[in-house]
Amino acid sequence: MEKTPQLLESAATCLELLDQLNQLTRSLRACLADAGKSHSLTGTEVQLLYRCASTPDGIAQRELAAALAISPAQVSGLVERLRSRALIVGHRPAEDRRRQVWKLTGRGGEVFQEVMAGVAPGLAAPLAAASPSAVAQLSQLVQQMSAAAQAVAAPCDVRREPSHQRGAA
């Protein structure tokens, strides 16, 4: 694939956007971690509780791993810790006994609401910097870009051999 100046500029724009999103993500994760401390929760555990709260019928462990961008083994440790504290409860659906589905307990819902009350101002601050329509547009744009990135079968055509060997017969 020939690398045109326009293609290279698009790649640079993507890298800049990635840096900006990473910076925002770090700030938001720090807010979650701080808010979770009052209940001895990590930021990732708060996110896991959010996912459970967002899916009242329960969320599969594999889906939690994908949503949190962590390994299934890490999710196993998190759900066990939260289960042992009676914040979530797991069950296996009759239609697929291999899957483990997690839901908030009553206590888990209470703790989550308390954490959210504490973190709401910090999480709302970045949104307050833009109009509601700009936030909606940003959300839609990020969804579109994410879908486009996932649709690409091989996101990077990176060859393993050194560049001086490329194209050699």
The CATH code that applies to domain 13-141 is: 1.10.10.10
Minimal CA–CA distance to 82: which of 62, 67, 61? 61
CA distance 72 to 70: 7
> For residues 68 and 162, which has the higher predicted lDDT (pLDDT)?
68
Model confidence pLDDT, tens digit, residues 28-64: 899 999 999 999 999 999 999 999 999 989 999 999 9
CB atoms within 10 A of CB 61: 16
- Check if the beta carbon of residue 111 is closer than 8 Å to that of residue 104: no
pTM of the model: 0.77
Residue 56 is predicted with a pLDDT of 86
Model confidence pLDDT, tens digit, residues 3-28: 788 888 888 888 898 899 899 899 98
Domain residue spans of the chain: 13-141
Q: How many CA atoms lie within 13 A of 147 on its CB side?
A: 6
Minimal CA–CA distance to 50: which of 35, 153, 136, 169? 35
Provide the pairing of β-strand 88-91 with 101-104.
Answer: antiparallel
Ramachandran assignment for 167, one of left (phi > 0), alpha (psi -120 to 50 degrees), beta (any other): left
